[in-house]
Structure 1
């Protein structure tokens, strides 16, 4: 439409030129309030003369939405920004605003300056400026909702399109054009196999011009209807997936097109990715789409394309079938029934019009029995019925797809969670419209997330019991630093909270003793530059405890953007420092004693023995602490870092994840949390032993019940690894022992047997009474232990940790705990093992008459 033409309600035109630039200047110069309001809204705002439709004002957002400048907009009429085939609709919308009342119009097609069509929701009303009426419209981009609606409706349209095709009258070009429209490919080829699969024929091609002419010229023959021998090389590459991506034509197969021809075509037309979409019926390959994209473009709507290939397979099979009477609608029904999701349709009054097999089976019916019933007749509670009616009305009123989570009960699974997506769509022979619904079972994902939260809470509680703070320290290239993670024990060590240091570590450095601060900084810089472990003793001024000595240990690694991230542990060594000071005092006393020739020799020897004993205790303490720190810094890092990374990914990208991805992600998080929990539990037990915080309370105990309880705990993991466990422990086998310690021993030995057993293996538990002891053994037929490692298994100062048969982590600390607890009972523990044959761990508990 030309500028300044006047549009009446019937769509006729008459000349009426207006001074729009003056009106625009008036709006900006004399009405700042109007400008401030419209320029701060997220909606695009256009102001047009009611009688002519000429645009007199456009907001910044409207300019961005349509691709025009302010000046360009002032030369346009309202109809210039809509497609020509939509002008009648636009005219009705424009002139439908009256009586100063707002009017909302949904999914109105608009025309971008570059020629593309997009859809908006328009909220419009009449305003009066200088005694003249103007139509003001607020535009909101509705493309995403429209696209979802179109895709859902397209599934029905495609099925109807195939159903309309008669036997032997398949429009291959139209089928291929639709595949290109779904995938957004630039070029495509449709190939069909013969019934025996010995050869295939190119039935159609479509897309940018010149490509087929180039191929025909290079090959010397017409490609269309060309018969090609079946290519095993190509079939092998695409056998495991419906959609397969190739980076070049020659990568697909050299037997179809020679490499020289493929290279020439690739270069001449700037071809990038090629996707092969298989056309299947069951496991039978009927043909494929070869979808070709120019460089910089890639496949879109993959899931919808997969459904389309299934529909294509059904249509092609129907065309090849001798039965002209069989309806393709039944084929589409078969596709729906093969989908595990619950699919259904209702009319606007709530009566079910159709359902797939999964939906009907869930509520104890056949699909035909569902038709004509309502929610009450399907067994939904009164509360659920009200919820569904309200949600359905929301879908009807909005005219857009909507989703919600529903917690309900069905006759098969009991209480379940569903993610329900509903969308309005037109259904033949249904007056007023219908609602299409798809429900996906998300019960397992819901439970996994709840369990992960419980695990996270438990891990937090366990970390509070460790004698120090577990942390991550990040040093950025700009010199700033922070602690992305710190356990709550940081308050005991430094007197600060985890929240205070998550962005800035200066709260920590402020506590370091001024004499030690340069040394601490220097050690951090050295560790950053060399990526060597950071280990240092330093003093701090604790706000509540005064001067304290701390020991820090951390392992660095390169992080994002050349920043460095340390994983480590810091604990209070004030008592150890006092012990070292006592040693120095004793050495000084020994020096003084040597100068005194009259000293008693016995006193000197006693003093030397005290010094030696003190030194040995200190060395053992240091070795045990080093082992403890090594476990924390090394063995905790992988599950801990993986767990943090997965939770961050879940938090950032939850709304973009498909249900299967979310399910796999939460399973991985669950395994990481279980591994981390097991290690922290052993660390806590060992820490309590070293602090003499565990009371030894032996009592008469039914060992048979203890062993059965521990078997029940690992039963799920046994099933997962397909391992058979044989319990040969006699009923009512009584021992005199501390129940908590004995449980810890059994838990660690059974876990190790499971961890180092191969899938499908066998574990045996036995127990027998001897004259003075009860002897218990746990045998596996797993990987076995190297004979050189056996002497070090129960030594805290030695590092013996190997992964399980399926990558399970192991710190070696569990066996140390077993030895401590067995020796507390006056028993002993040992092992017999052979590599690749298996291992048997024995331990004894002294008998005591009750």
Structure 2
């Protein structure tokens, strides 16, 4: 026979209830204070209705470096930048939190030592049981490292976009700007080959001069492309040293003297013979050669070119000025822009000016300098580039660079 079940009632006292099930009384204010202070990755503090800081957790001390006794009683805007303060950002955050319940932002804040941190922040309005305003609470998290990584990614993306633009420019030059002159080159050779018996000595001489000039121009263009690619895409060594600007300019002029004399151009180097700049010697040479070559090409017969330098605070500004045909305003605005349209416009009058100016821009920017142009059509052009003063040459260095410079080489004029 089955045994009947039974129910037994036991009277429990407090001692028989497991500790985990007991109701434990914890002081609410102290409990939440300990929780907030344990959040070391977050700055949590409150401000009163007068926008004065009246509580400050350990996380806020860790992030902003202010101890509670240093910050309590200070205005809310203490942790904001001067720009944000002048723009009324602290007040706007509070107003938005009242209107919408909270205000969210990502911005730079200022620590005790002046260091800037980028933080994600929230502001909440605090109200009492009868909805009276009690103040506000601000919660911040330091996301400076995340911001730096995002900025680095943005910079990388922009660099890739720029490289892609440069790639398109190079492809355009290779496919059109180099191919078209070569087509003319071949056509002229075909004409000569077909009509050689009828061509007299004078005409043949003219054809050879055209072919020679075209070949030189195309070689120059290829040299610019190679140099541009080397600077832009390869890890080119950048080695700035104290360099005598007068001697560097004089060397470039000596290499271009044939072109100068053929057009009877007066070239003046108006630079002190002991003027020192801090630059990569090869890059300075390329920049000067590009700008002076362009000045020669666009100068009239018996024109004038002047190379000068002036000191401006912490930099030297070198100028190459000519009295040539000048530059149209629509082209001037695009001179240093690596776009297909800009290159096409610049190359409509000269086949190598466009890429040469882009190369010069890259070389100058390697030095943290700037390059720009000024011109009025029909009145010549002036090209300027700056080189920051990284250091000053010692007297010994200057004396060694003066060796071999004769007095009559100062402000040299090539005629």
Q: TM-score range by the shorter chain?
A: 0.5 to 0.7
Equivalent residue in structure 2 for 1:755, among 273, 297, 300: 297
The answer for the alignment partner of 1:714 in structure 2 is 256
- Inter-partner Cα distance in structure 1 for 2:179 and 2:288: 26
The answer for the alignment partner of 1:677 in structure 2 is 219
- Return the offset for 1:751: 1.5
The answer for the alignment partner of 2:359 in structure 1 is 817
Query: Are 2:244 and 1:730 aligned?
Result: no
- Return the offset for 1:606: 8.9
Q: Which has the higher strand share?
A: 1
Post-superposition CA distance 1:70-92 (Å, at most 9, x none): xxxxxxxxxxxxxxxxxxxxxxx
Equivalent residue in structure 1 for 2:176, among 634, 638, 646: 634
Is the 2:220–2:352 Cα contact (8 Å) retained in structure 1? no
- Return the offset for 1:702: 2.3
- After superposition, the Cα gap between the structure-2 partners of 1:651 and 1:701, relative to the gap in structure 1 and judged at 3 Å, is farther
Return 5+ residue gaps in structure 2 as ranges.
1-140, 394-415
- Output aligned runs, 1:434-513, within 5 Å: none
- Inter-partner Cα distance in structure 2 for 1:693 and 1:605: 27
- Output aligned runs, 1:204-243, within 5 Å: none
Query: Are 2:322 and 1:780 aligned?
Result: yes
TM-score, scaled relative to structure 2 = 0.53
- Inter-partner Cα distance in structure 2 for 1:607 and 1:826: 23
The alignment yields a C-alpha RMSD, in angstroms, of 3.2
Query: Are 2:190 and 1:659 aligned?
Result: no
Query: Are 2:380 and 1:838 aligned?
Result: yes
- Return the offset for 1:719: 2.8
Post-superposition CA distance 1:52-104 (Å, at most 9, x none): xxxxxxxxxxxxxxxxxxxxxxxxxxxxxxxxxxxxxxxxxxxxxxxxxxxxx
- Output aligned runs, 1:265-664, within 5 Å: 615-648=157-190, 657-664=199-206
Query: Are 2:241 and 1:688 aligned?
Result: no
Post-superposition CA distance 1:634-661 (Å, at most 9, x none): 2212322223334455566667754333
TM-score, scaled relative to structure 1 = 0.27
Is the 1:774–1:844 Cα contact (8 Å) retained in structure 2? yes
Is the 2:347–2:353 Cα contact (8 Å) retained in structure 1? no
Equivalent residue in structure 2 for 1:849, among 392, 398, 412: 392
Post-superposition CA distance 1:149-204 (Å, at most 9, x none): xxxxxxxxxxxxxxxxxxxxxxxxxxxxxxxxxxxxxxxxxxxxxxxxxxxxxxxx
- After superposition, the Cα gap between the structure-2 partners of 1:645 and 1:713, relative to the gap in structure 1 and judged at 3 Å, is farther
- Inter-partner Cα distance in structure 2 for 1:605 and 1:617: 18
Aligned residues: 250
- Output aligned runs, 1:91-130, within 5 Å: none
Is the 2:375–2:382 Cα contact (8 Å) retained in structure 1? yes
Is the 1:756–1:804 Cα contact (8 Å) retained in structure 2? no
- Output aligned runs, 1:189-200, within 5 Å: none
- After superposition, the Cα gap between the structure-2 partners of 1:644 and 1:829, relative to the gap in structure 1 and judged at 3 Å, is same
Q: Give SS of 2:288's match.
A: helix
- Inter-partner Cα distance in structure 2 for 1:664 and 1:820: 38
- Return the offset for 1:629: 1.0
Equivalent residue in structure 1 for 2:370, among 828, 833, 843: 828
- Inter-partner Cα distance in structure 2 for 1:743 and 1:839: 20
Post-superposition CA distance 1:82-132 (Å, at most 9, x none): xxxxxxxxxxxxxxxxxxxxxxxxxxxxxxxxxxxxxxxxxxxxxxxxxxx
Post-superposition CA distance 1:313-345 (Å, at most 9, x none): xxxxxxxxxxxxxxxxxxxxxxxxxxxxxxxxx
- Inter-partner Cα distance in structure 1 for 2:163 and 2:184: 31
- After superposition, the Cα gap between the structure-2 partners of 1:746 and 1:615, relative to the gap in structure 1 and judged at 3 Å, is closer
The answer for the alignment partner of 1:92 in structure 2 is none
Return 5+ residue gaps in structure 1 as ranges.
1-599
- Inter-partner Cα distance in structure 2 for 1:682 and 1:726: 26
Query: Are 2:342 and 1:799 aligned?
Result: yes
Q: Give SS of 2:256's match.
A: helix
Is the 1:757–1:783 Cα contact (8 Å) retained in structure 2? yes
- Return the offset for 1:686: 1.0
- Inter-partner Cα distance in structure 1 for 2:202 and 2:260: 25
The answer for the alignment partner of 2:88 in structure 1 is none
- After superposition, the Cα gap between the structure-2 partners of 1:601 and 1:733, relative to the gap in structure 1 and judged at 3 Å, is closer
- Inter-partner Cα distance in structure 2 for 1:708 and 1:725: 10
- Return the offset for 1:685: 0.9
Q: Which has the higher helix share?
A: 2
- Inter-partner Cα distance in structure 1 for 2:171 and 2:267: 35
Q: Give SS of 1:812's match.
A: helix
